[in-house]
Structure 1
Amino acid sequence: MTDTSTATRILLDSRPVGWPTPENFRIEEVALPELEAGQVRVRNEFLSVDPYMRGRMSDARSYVAPYALGAQITGGAIGRVVASRVDGMPEGSVVLHQHGWSDVVQGDAATFRIVPDIPGLPLSVRLHVLGMTGMTAYVGLTRIAALREGETVFISGAAGAVGTAAGQIARHLGAGRVIGSAGTPEKVALLTQKYGYDAGFDYHDGDVRELLAQAAPEGIDVFFDNVGGDHLQAALASFRDGGRAALCGAISSYNTTDRAAGPDNMANLITRGLTLRGFTLGDHLDLSAEFQQRMTGWFEDGGIVYDETIVDGIENTVQAFLDMMRGGNIGKMLVRI
């Protein structure tokens, strides 16, 4: 049986300037104290690495507090309870939590949430398409951008975890045409061959504004943005009157040290009556039950597919994060313990 009396965890050792490097992190092994009443100990099976974590590594104002130096990197993870001193959360329970980058964690039971083990599906799907990632796509398309049946949708960063979910959800919501951008020809092929996109383009192939105009010659109605920068500028050029953007991420600027230039066509907001709205999922958790019901139904009908890029070993978590930031994943990037 695996020893769970110690934990290997990953800490933020220094704040990155520009692109993070392995030297910004530190791995340590700690002995865990005896469980107290009301606590559980969990051996993680999968950890999540996500773009938003880069923002928390900087000491800058955001929607969530930055990581403290010398503290463990927190974030989504899923595992099984291996010891418990609380009623209602017995050993063997599958639990989701936000304790993050460690192979074993323990804490108050209130910081863990029991989820059902779905036959035929790995636990990892709870960290992406059936979890916060999928819900982020759902909230952006429904509440933020108010997608209507028959509309044309453009999704940036379409081959990533949120993008692959957003393309499929847009199709289920009745979008007339779904277009995505990605960073390699192989990823673009996946968009149309697997994820239900009508068209896709590699943003390295030229000016994004021109590439989008070719893919959507009649314009777009909804933009789900994970990238920002030139993708936002392209969307502003392609919007039809009354277009709406759900701004989810801006990965193109996360590692820049210079101030990013703004779009040169902001006047289109006025002349075309456009709406740009940023959002974070924490403000829309009231949609959780609705999302779970609809997404589970689509799954059961065979209408949802997914990809995972899995890296094995807690000691490789930092490299998985760095690879994800440079586009080294298809679908969700995960660490398997």
Structure 2
Amino acid sequence: MTEQTRIVREVKLLGYNSGKLKAEHFAVVETAGAEPGPGQVLVRNRWFRVSISTRLMAEAGTEDVKGIPFPPLNPGDTLADGAIGEVVRAGPGAGLSVGSVVMHPLGWRDYAVVPAEQCRLIDSPVVDPAAWLGHGWTAYAALVKAIQVRPGDTAFVTSGAGAIGSMAGQIARLLGATRVIGTTSNQEKARWMQAELGYDAVVTRDGGSVREQLAKVAPDGIDVIVDMVGGEQLAAALEIARHGARCVLLGAVSAELNPHNATLKALVELDTFQLILRGVTMRGFSADEEAPEMFDAWIRQLADWQREGGIRTTHTMVKGLDQAPLALQEACAGHLKSLVLVELE
């Protein structure tokens, strides 16, 4: 097959849907490959990330929401997410050599024509896709720049088995927290979080009242809250927050994965007077928008922690582009742990 007749396989959204996201809402299609123009490179993808935010992106009306942190999907659009691949062709002025390994935002396809300015060179003999495509840097930036973990803190991480939470709990410990508590959906995930990620205690949705469980495992209160869920879990944590507690909001899974209608409205009732009396601070944070410069610092810090054996980049690996829609379905249903990656053949 010549370069001019290369067939590209990519995953497209078939149409808007409501309710639970399913693999049948997407299709793997073949299209004629394009050649890179000036300032562009053709990349053969090796891995790409599967993000549950795709559930919200594929909801009708998302394009009308102001401030949405990712582009909405229209029927017929090709999905996109972080990817790592090898440059196989370079257009004039691209500044990247054939054979270079790069990270870029156009996953969900086997070949991608990418503006060179959107590529980050990975200058390493061995590539750990979970380190580069994972959300550890989001958690790191949140715990270093948005709020600060102090020695002796009790940290609470919602969705602790997810892509961010699986790293946030470990990072909080490495930054000085002496007790780390998380939440997840069921006991099987809770046992995994304690065995593999070092959580001291885990509150589960299938274990009864979140408030009662959290009060039991954190009788002296909480100093740091890293929230990806919102709703009841956020409210319960803030009720027992200690004086001077710090809370960073990184997501709202309770809204994004609403089984009836994905939404950006994550409603929760809080006693703000008590937050004032206890000097609790809360802030929303986007690492992409507010701390892009911390990505390189994260890669260096991760390498140090890995050499010391202090952290694990846990992930679920799925083989083949054809399996990607099912992986997305299972991730949104909460059946997969940690970062979800697709490895292309």
TM-score (norm 1): 0.91
Structure 1 residue 115: deviation in Å?
0.6
Task: Say if 1:323 and 1:267 are closer, same or farther in 2 by CA, change over 3 A.
Answer: farther
2:310 to 290, 303, 308: 303
Matched, 1:136 2:143: no
Structure 1 residue 193: deviation in Å?
2.0
Post-superposition CA distance 1:16-42 (Å, at most 9, x none) = 323223343233211113333433211
Kept after mapping to 2: 8 A contact 1:42/1:79: yes
Structure 1 residue 231: deviation in Å?
0.8
User: How does 1:31-42 map onto structure 2 within 5 Å?
Assistant: 31-42=32-43
Structure 1 residue 100: deviation in Å?
2.2
Structure 1 residue 56: deviation in Å?
2.3
Structure 1 residue 201: deviation in Å?
2.7
Partner of 1:74: 80
Structure 2 unmatched ranges of 5 or more: none
Of structures 1 and 2, the one scoring higher in RCO (CA 8 A, sep 6+) is 2
1:108 to 109, 112, 115: 115
Inter-partner Cα distance in structure 2 for 1:150 and 1:246: 18
Inter-partner Cα distance in structure 2 for 1:18 and 1:78: 31
2:341 corresponds to which letter in structure 1?
L
Structure 1 residue 96: deviation in Å?
0.4
Sequence identity (%): 35
Task: Say if 1:268 and 1:214 are closer, same or farther in 2 by CA, change over 3 A.
Answer: same
Partner of 2:339: 332
Partner of 2:149: 147
Kept after mapping to 2: 8 A contact 1:236/1:268: no
Partner of 1:212: 214
Partner of 1:122: 128
Inter-partner Cα distance in structure 2 for 1:248 and 1:183: 18
**Local SS of the residue matching 2:164:** helix
TM-score (norm 2): 0.89
**Local SS of the residue matching 2:155:** strand
Structure 1 residue 261: deviation in Å?
4.7
> Which stretch of structure 1 is more off in the superposition, 297-306 or 62-71?
62-71
Partner of 1:45: 46
Structure 1 residue 2: deviation in Å?
11
Post-superposition CA distance 1:27-69 (Å, at most 9, x none) = 3211113333433211111111112222322313313332233
Kept after mapping to 2: 8 A contact 1:224/1:246: yes
1:110 corresponds to which letter in structure 2?
E
Task: Say if 1:7 and 1:193 are closer, same or farther in 2 by CA, change over 3 A.
Answer: same
Q: How large is the Cα RMSD of the aligned pairs?
A: 2.2
Task: Say if 1:2 and 1:273 are closer, same or farther in 2 by CA, change over 3 A.
Answer: farther
Matched, 1:246 2:248: yes
**Local SS of the residue matching 1:252:** helix
Partner of 2:165: 163
Inter-partner Cα distance in structure 2 for 1:182 and 1:255: 14
Structure 1 residue 263: deviation in Å?
2.5
Inter-partner Cα distance in structure 1 for 2:296 and 2:36: 32
Post-superposition CA distance 1:107-155 (Å, at most 9, x none) = 3322222112353x53343211xxxx01110111122222212111000
Post-superposition CA distance 1:210-231 (Å, at most 9, x none) = 1111111100011001111111
Structure 1 residue 70: deviation in Å?
2.1
Inter-partner Cα distance in structure 2 for 1:150 and 1:18: 43
Kept after mapping to 1: 8 A contact 2:23/2:328: no
1:335 corresponds to which letter in structure 2?
V
1:289 corresponds to which letter in structure 2?
D
Inter-partner Cα distance in structure 1 for 2:148 and 2:35: 50
1:299 corresponds to which letter in structure 2?
Q
Kept after mapping to 2: 8 A contact 1:117/1:123: no
Inter-partner Cα distance in structure 1 for 2:47 and 2:188: 26
2:298 corresponds to which letter in structure 1?
F
Structure 1 residue 310: deviation in Å?
1.5
Structure 1 residue 82: deviation in Å?
2.0
Kept after mapping to 2: 8 A contact 1:164/1:195: yes
Partner of 1:271: 277
2:123 corresponds to which letter in structure 1?
P
Inter-partner Cα distance in structure 1 for 2:130 and 2:139: 17
Structure 1 unmatched ranges of 5 or more: none
Matched, 1:85 2:91: yes
Aligned residues: 332
1:187 corresponds to which letter in structure 2?
K
**Local SS of the residue matching 2:269:** coil
Partner of 1:191: 193
1:99 corresponds to which letter in structure 2?
L
Inter-partner Cα distance in structure 1 for 2:266 and 2:165: 23
Task: Say if 1:153 and 1:278 are closer, same or farther in 2 by CA, change over 3 A.
Answer: same
1:199 corresponds to which letter in structure 2?
A
Inter-partner Cα distance in structure 1 for 2:270 and 2:114: 49
Structure 1 residue 321: deviation in Å?
0.9
1:279 corresponds to which letter in structure 2?
F
